[in-house]
Amino acid sequence: MRKENQDSSSSERGIFISFEGSEGSGKTTQISRIAERFEKEKFEVVVTREPGGTAIGESIRHLLKHDDSGDAMFPETELLLFAAARAQLVREVIVPALEAGKIILSDRYLDSTTVYQGVARQISSEPVQAINNFAAGELMPDLTIILDVPVETGFSRVKHRVSDLPDRMELESVEFYEQVRKGYLLLAESMPDRFVVIDGTEPREKIEQRIWDELRLRFS
Ligand code: T5A
């Protein structure tokens, strides 16, 4: 785990892996497959998601995605709500699990804010970074997997979902999601040590194997 002031000599600490990508890129699908793989190897795994993963975070998720009042939400409010959900998740779930030596698989983390609120909503990077760091308490993932798919592919996958209406974020334009995709790829390019970009258009099994190979390589 990369954390300010961490005791790097401890062999007990877990591993924190986040999954990123736009809607329908296959994060949830791969997280559940990778969790199963870890469990087969007798690791303790904690799967979580953003926004959400705690009672407070799930309430904020509802507000951000489904509540009618969301229609009047300003980008700055949105940024702070995502950060608030994260602040709770980090302290209530992620840090304790890491300290207990578990593997954390998180469906999104602070890079989502950098890309969605920073790049796509065009909030300037200074407040976005400062708020991200404050909420996360400087806790960064050991590895971030980006599942990259063309916007149309993600849209068509999400459209075929059994669930009913699109949520507030899913009503955004194609251009917005083009920015999201571009934002992720630029971020990965700027921090190749932490990020791995995987082609999310491949069959599920192939992507799973690619992720597993990467995890074995990095964390043997
Ligand atoms: N957000 C979030 C911000 O703006 N800022 C932030 O800081 C944070 C944390 C979260 C929303 O909030 C935004 C981003 C989002 O708009 P969410 O419901 O959690 O909302 O949305 P997503 O994380 O995008 O979840 P999705 O369910 O839409 O996408 P996934 O999890 O990437 O995709 P998944 O696995 O559910 O798969 C979608 C469909 O595709 C199929 C699956 O079976 C499923 O039907 N599929 C494949 N089909 C073909 N080939 C493959 N390889 C496939 N993999 C999966």
**pLDDT (mean) for 118-134:** 97
* Residue 4 clears pLDDT 50, i.e. is over it: no
* Residue 1 clears pLDDT 80, i.e. is over it: no
Cα–Cα distance measured from residue 157 to residue 120, given in angstroms and rounded to the nearest whole number: 21
Query: Which amino acid is located at 63 in the chain?
Result: L
State in Å: Cα 76 to ligand 1 middle.
23
Give pLDDT tens digits for 12-24: 899 999 999 999 9
* Residue 3 clears pLDDT 60, i.e. is over it: no
Q: For the chain, what is the HEC assignment?
A: CECCCCCCCCCCCCEEEEEECCCCCCHHHHHHHHHHHHHHCCCCEEEEECCCCCHHHHHHHHHHHCCHHHHHCCHHHHHHHHHHHHHHHHHHHHHHHHHCCCEEEEECCHHHHHHHHHHHCCCCHHHHHHHHHHHHCCCECCEEEEEECCHHHHHHHHHCCCCCCCCCHHHCCHHHHHHHHHHHHHHHHHCCCCEEEEECCCCHHHHHHHHHHHHHHHHC
CA dihedral over 58, 63, 66, 67, signed as positive or negative: positive
**Can you name the residues that pair with 15 across neighbouring β-strands?**
103
From 67, 157, 180, the mutation candidate for ligand 1 (largest count of ligand atoms within 8 A of CB) is: 157
Q: In this predicted structure, what is the pLDDT of residue 70? A: 84
**10 — pLDDT class (breaks 50, 70, 90):** very low
Q: In this predicted structure, what is the pLDDT of residue 13? A: 93
Pocket, ligand 1, Cβ cutoff 6 A: 21, 23-29, 49-51, 82, 107-108, 112-113, 116-117, 157-158, 161, 169, 203-204, 207
Cα–Cα distance measured from residue 160 to residue 15, given in angstroms and rounded to the nearest whole number: 33
State in Å: Cα 112 to ligand 1 middle.
12
Q: In this predicted structure, what is the pLDDT of residue 164? A: 61
State in Å: Cα 218 to ligand 1 middle.
25
From 82, 88, 112, 199, the mutation candidate for ligand 1 (largest count of ligand atoms within 8 A of CB) is: 112
Give pLDDT tens digits for 158-213: 886 656 677 888 888 899 999 999 999 999 999 999 999 999 999 999 999 999 99
**pLDDT (mean) for 65-80:** 92
Cα–Cα distance measured from residue 203 to residue 57, given in angstroms and rounded to the nearest whole number: 32
Give pLDDT tens digits for 78-121: 999 999 999 999 999 999 999 999 999 999 999 999 999 999 99
The atom number, within ligand 1, closest to the CA of 22 reads 24
Q: In this predicted structure, what is the pLDDT of residue 177? A: 96
- What percent of the chain stands above pLDDT 70? 93
Provide the CA 90 distance to its chain's centre, in angstroms: 13
Q: In this predicted structure, what is the pLDDT of residue 2? A: 42
